[in-house]
Amino acid sequence: MNAVLIYSLARLGILLAVLALGYLAGLRDIWLLGSAFLGSGLISFVVLDQQRTAMGQRIAASFGKMSAKIDENTRKEDVD
């Protein structure tokens, strides 16, 4: 499965869990949203370290391939 999709779904799951906990704790409106985003961000920073690293490597590889393709096309244009 794609590392970006796994990381995104895990972040969404953590956000929804923190939202539910905040709602059960009695938070409403902007306080609920603010605490959910802050809390889920902090939790995911610690818990999803491996997934974030895998996602970063996947994205870096994609950009590396794209850059190599651009360089190759530039060299082809220079030869013509």
Question: Are residues 3 and 50 in contact, defined by beta-carbon separation less than 8 angstroms?
Answer: no
Residue 51 structural domain: 3-79
pLDDT tens-digit profile of 28-67? Answer: 999 999 999 999 999 999 999 999 999 999 899 889 889 8
Question: Are residues 14 and 43 in contact, defined by beta-carbon separation less than 8 angstroms?
Answer: yes
Task: Name the helix (H) or strand (E) containing 13.
Answer: helix 3-24
* Cα–Cα distance, 37 to 30 (Å, whole number): 11
- Look at the chain and report how many structural domains it folds into: 1
* Cα–Cα distance, 55 to 50 (Å, whole number): 9
- Confidence tier at 14 by pLDDT (50, 70, 90): very high
pLDDT tens-digit profile of 63-80? Answer: 988 988 888 888 887 776
Instruction: Answer yes or no: is pLDDT of 1 > 80.
Output: no
DSSP-assigned letters across all residues of 57-78: HHHHHHHHHHHHHHHHHHHHHH
Residue with tokens 């920073």: 45
